[in-house]
Amino acid sequence: MELEIAVSQPAKELPSTFKKYIHEVALHFHRSGFELPDEFLQPLSDYIKDTKSHVVTLNYDNLLYDGFKSKGVLDGYHGPLIDGFWASTGFDEEHLDRHNIKRHGWYMHLHGSPLFIGNNKVMGAGRDFLDPEDESHIVLAHVEHKPLIIGSSHILSSYWRRLEKAFEESDQIILFGYSGLDEHLNERIKLRKEEKELLIVEWDGAGEESDRRRYWEEKVGFSRFELARLESILKFTAW
């Protein structure tokens, strides 16, 4: 016995419509027109150049990425951070291999970017012609579905495979402007609670400090950490 299920045309178009919506939402933030203030970006860039610290991001905005490009932090193998993309051949996991770990850290887009199309990273004027029907690498879903989306992307899964190594090489974990809502990341951080220092930088309007301390201890498993609360996190320069 065969069972046939008729699917309406609108239902058939739903996956494509959903994909387009995700892409347009992510692009909205890339096209904000804002830039990071130099009084924030320069101390951070100097810190990265001096320490070769790893940087991971969970959002889609171009503020940090473009800012690092302007400061030479992201400049292929000439800069202190590498993200696996070469201008000539696009992304390859082998491009994340470091022949001298004292020279390079990783810049890892854990939840992707609307600028990643297929195996390439779209820069400059090409950003204005992105097509949501192209293969993209964006994580914008309910938290329980995020690991599945990450695993389906060869770019994002490459970053997550190196996250443990990045933790191993770091003396301190700094959570900057992070909501604490991505449990798949929190579980990775909890594994380091006995061996790493933790600094959390957040907006002071998020709640009472005592409540926030309880919140973070539950989220990341650390019983001891430094909590820096500022009116604007972009005022933080004590790297």
Counting Cβ atoms within 10 Å, is residue 136 exposed (0-12), middle (13-18) or buried (19+)? buried
**pLDDT at residue 59, as a whole number:** 77
Domain boundary among 124, 149, 170: 170
3-state secondary structure the chain: CCCCCCCCHHHHHHHHHHHHHHHHHHHHHHCCCCCCCHHHHHHHHHHHHHHCCCEEECCCCCHHHHHHHHCCCCECECCCEECCEECCCEECHHHHCCCCCCCCEEEEECCEEEEEECCEECCHHHHHHCCCCCCEEECCCCHHHHHHHHHCCHHHHHHHHHHHHHHHCCCEEEEECCCCCCHHHHHHHHCCCCCCEEEEEEEHHHCCHHHHHHHHHHHHCCCCCEEEEECCHHHCCCC
Instruction: Say what the pTM is.
Output: 0.81
Residue 157 lies in a domain: yes
Do 166 and 176 lie in one domain? The reply is no
Residues β-bridged to residue 227: 200
Are 176 and 133 in the same domain? no
Q: What is the pLDDT along the chain (239 residues), one digit of tens a residue?
A: 555 555 555 544 445 555 666 666 666 666 667 889 999 999 999 999 999 999 999 876 778 988 999 999 999 889 999 999 888 788 999 999 998 888 999 999 887 777 776 667 766 555 555 555 556 666 566 666 676 666 667 888 989 999 999 999 999 999 999 999 999 899 999 999 999 999 999 999 999 999 999 999 999 999 999 999 999 999 999 99
Q: What angle do CA 207, 208, 210 make, to 5 degrees?
A: 130
Report CA torsion sign: 4, 6, 149, 127.
Answer: positive
58 neighbors 110 (Cβ within 8 angstroms): yes
Number of folded domains that form the chain: 2
The reply to whether 5 falls in a domain is no
- By residue range, what is the domain housing residue 127? 10-170
CB-neighbour burial class of residue 223 (10 A; exposed 0-12, middle 13-18, buried 19+): exposed
Residue 15 lies in a domain: yes
Establish if 163 belongs to a structural domain.
yes
Residues 225 and 114 in one domain: no
Whether residue 165 sits in one domain with residue 177: no
Same domain as 185, residue 195: yes
2 located within any domain: no
Same domain, 198 and 233: yes
Identify whether residues 166 and 195 lie together within a single domain: no
Q: What's the CA gap between 44 and 50, in Å, rounded?
A: 10
* Same domain? 47 vs 88: yes
* Domain match, 132 and 36 both: yes
Task: Based on the fold, state whether residues 229 and 141 are members of the same structural domain.
Answer: no
* Residue finishing a domain among 170, 194, 217: 170
Distance (Å, whole) CA 235 – CA 238: 9
What is the reported pLDDT for 20? 65
Both 22 and 113 in a single domain?
A: yes
Q: What is the pLDDT of residue 164?
A: 94
Point out the domain boundary residue: 170, 194, 219.
170
